[in-house]
Chains A and B, each alone.
Chain A
Amino acid sequence: MSSRSPLQGVPAVSDPLRRLSRRRLLRHAMAGTGALLAAGPLSGCASPASASGASALSVWDLFQGGDGMLMDEMIDAVSKGDDGFDVDRTILDWGPSYYTKLAMSAAGGRASDVAAMHLSRLAGYAPGGLVDPVDLDLLAEFGVTEKDFTPAVWSRTRHEGTVYAVPLDVHPFIVFYDKKAAEKAGLLDSSGALAPMGSPEALLEAGKALAEATGQSGILFGHVTDTAQNWRLFAGLYAQTGADFDLPDGGPARIDVDAAVRVVTLMTRLFDGKTNPNNLDYNGALAAFTGGRGGMAMLGEWELPTLKESGIDLGAAPFPQVFDKPAVYTDSHSFVLPHQEDPDPARRREAHRYIAAVLKQSLTWASAGHIPAYQPVLAEPEYAALEPQSSYADAAKVAVLDPPNWFVGAGSNFQNRMCQPLQSALLGNTSPEKAVRQMVREADALLQQPNPVA
């Protein structure tokens, strides 16, 4: 700008005072902006410490609603007393976005001290070093060892022999049933619990009998536009056939096509649109079951609090065994130590102590329907008294999780892509054979992608 402008005579523009103030204003504005920009990251660093003290243990999880309140209760319980924890809890929306954020924070090396993770996702995090190994000696010092977990679940905490996660619960895909309808349909044993089925035909018969008993639908299952339900049902039944489902790096996927076709065929016969509707979405099935328009529903145990409120005479059981081998599709919420560039040993020690302390609060967690992974809790009489939770606790022993690979697990694209052909088959848009062929193709396509986390 030309300060030696010859236009001194035009006050509106060149009054020196005004110009000075205008310029000063500008300069201040720029400085202010700069200060704001600079303060952003700084205050971001400072906030956890100033908000809850420098020693607060930062914890990330994805528990909302009822689960979130129970987790609050458990954290309150471990925060009491002289050696209670000072916990800075961050709750994030469950699903793909949670795992994106967790991976990013760990890749940045400044993650939280402890984070919750579905065990099925571990294979996407452990190989790339996004989670740090669990110190088993340290954990044992605080009273938690491998023996406290079922082998089916503990085996999934390892990657190349190292343990990376401590399971909090097991949450299987099970069946809920209306006790009155099931009794009318003759499906209960002498003790009033769901009798074993033992064959695909028995399951089909049960569906018909329940439909007759309720006068409407037999077995309800909501899968339309859902990104996981079909896969949960398929994976559990497929595991019951005893066939392997392996996803070796680089492909091709090892899937027993005949067994898979048998499973999908059973699914289409079960949900034939007559005795069991084939076109329900998740909420539709839930609403139909709680409204008494079906005798049984295939759901995750996490729906227990919702279903209890409905007032139906509720029974629950592990997913019925209809093929050769007992197996129940499951996932597990577990605790991990997200990767930190330069972990403070004292904080790490606290993190282990925290995990052990929260595990011992598992009875609270079980009240929502989850099966505690920490076995000593299952032996307590208080757990046996929890109905119907205790009636499906055995599911943890035959738990089957997703085949490990970086792209699989809860909230993953893999589950969504497996669900799509299965949905087409259930809706009658394609045959079971074609659906299975597409599933194999999708799995192969994912296996051929370069691994972005290792």
Chain B
Amino acid sequence: MTTTAPLGAEERTDPATGPADGRRAVLRRIRPGNGFVFVLPFLLVFGLFMVWPIVQGLWMSFTDSSLALRDTGFVGFDNYTEAFGDPDVWSSLGNTLFFTAISSVPLVLVALAMALLVHSGLAGQWAWRLAFFAPYLLPVTVVTLIWTWLYQPELGLGNQLLDSFGMAPVGWLSDESVAMWSIAALTVWWTVGFNFLLYLAALQSLPTTFDEAAALDGAGAWRRLWSITLPQLRRTTGLVAMLQILASLKVFDQIYILTKGGPNGSTRPVLEYVYDVGFTGYRLGYASAVSYLFFALIIVVSLVQFRLFRRED
């Protein structure tokens, strides 16, 4: 890139010109080319385990590559044509989007509410922080184990509670219209702590001067929240929402362990379909094509968000 210019500069440097020039020369020595060696290990790993699989996956999506066979043939756009006509692709994609919608909104709002509560100087702060953040530390298997029993139709806490209020039991994981909401509830409980932490950090770094000035002018707590705190949190909200939507789109593990995509495919996210087709069905080529379609969707979502985000700024 800029190799010639600094070299020229070095050649012109006179060793006798004193410390100031020397320092400038030191700075000049930190050129893009010099740091490369230090970044190389990372680039190697990144290339080997990220870039190469991505390229390989794209290639595979144009073949009938199978997990169980060595021979593969080029099939052109066949996999993509099949994917576009495959109702399971569309239904699982719909499930993923539905999950993203019903989980992201509470994950942002609940996290904000929690952070505001803790920040407002509630007694026993450390206990609240721990309670809100602790579930996030649990591994997915533990979380699903706990919630399997909560959602258990006969013995579970959920239906026992409903029963004690004289209400009919709910098929938490067996009713097609309820199961995804149950999974969203679990996910909110499990992961809201991370967003809560981001909000809390943002709240603690806000300058207090505006708030104090408004309070002196006689603005009430709600007024200050709406007109001062929330607008100042805009950037954080944008960040949290973006991270959350991307995380929700990637939903897989808790659903796979909890319902295997059931009942009747109503909770099967598109990533599980990719897994089913690719690993239990051995059809790697087709699975790659489906995942590339999903990849395209994620890029579109990210671009849209990026635009919205920028406009906010």
A interface list, Cβ under 8 A from B: 1-2, 5-10, 13, 26, 29, 33, 96-97, 99-100, 103-104, 106-107, 125, 128, 130, 224-225, 227, 277, 279-281, 283-284, 287-288, 407, 411-413, 416, 419-421, 423-424, 427, 429, 445, 449-450, 452-453
Contacts and interface: CB of A to CB of B under 8 A. Distances in A.
Contact of B176 (A277, A288, A424): A424
Contacts of A281: 148, 152-153, 173-174
A288 B154 CA distance: 9
Contact of B70 (A1, A107, A411, A450): A107
14 contacts: A7-B25, A26-B37, A100-B279, A107-B70, A125-B68, A224-B171, A225-B259, A281-B173, A407-B281, A413-B280, A421-B264, A423-B262, A445-B88, A452-B66
B52 to A, nearest CB: 14
Contact of A427 (B67, B154, B263, B276): B263
Given A279-B174, A420-B263, A1 B15 contact: no
A275 B276 CA distance: 36
A224 B173 contact: yes
- Tell me if B's interface is mostly helix, strand, loop or mixed: loop
Interface string B53-84: 00000000000101111100000000000000
A423 B280 contact: no
A445 B87 CA distance: 10
Contacts of B258: 225
B175 interface: yes
A100 B280 contact: yes
Contacts of A411: 280
A5 to B, nearest CB: 7
B223 interface: no
B90 to A, nearest CB: 13
A356 B54 CA distance: 47
Given A100-B67, A107-B67, A423-B262, 16 more contacts: A1-B34, A7-B26, A9-B15, A10-B22, A96-B280, A97-B279, A130-B68, A224-B153, A225-B174, A225-B259, A225-B260, A227-B260, A413-B280, A413-B281, A416-B261, A427-B171
Nearest to B159: A279
Given A224-B174, A225-B173, A413-B276, A7 B68 contact: no
A96 B25 CA distance: 62
B71 to A, nearest CB: 10
A433 to B, nearest CB: 15
B72 to A, nearest CB: 10
B34 A427 contact: no
A413 B281 CA distance: 7
B135 interface: no
A7 B29 contact: yes
A2 B41 CA distance: 22
Most buried by B among A8, A96, A225, A277: A225
A389 B284 CA distance: 43
Interface in B21-36: 22, 25-26, 29, 34
B125 interface: no
B68 A128 contact: yes
A284 B68 CA distance: 37
Given A103-B68, A423-B264, A10 B26 contact: yes
A102 B174 CA distance: 32
Contact of A452 (B7, B22, B69): B69
A107 B282 CA distance: 11
Contact of B67 (A7, A103, A450): A103
Contacts of B158: none
A64 to B, nearest CB: 16
Contacts of A130: 68
A412 B282 CA distance: 11
B171 A279 contact: yes
* 3 interchain residue pairs of minimum CB distance: A452-B66, A103-B68, A96-B280
A277 B154 contact: yes
Nearest to B176: A429
A225 B261 CA distance: 9
A412 B69 CA distance: 18
Contact of B68 (A107, A288, A413): A107
Contacts of A29: 41
Most buried by B among A97, A100, A416, A452: A452
B212 interface: no
Contact of B155 (A128, A287, A450): A287
A2 B10 contact: yes
A13 B174 contact: no
B278 to A, nearest CB: 9
Contacts of B70: 107
Contacts of A288: 154
Nearest to B15: A6
B265 interface: yes
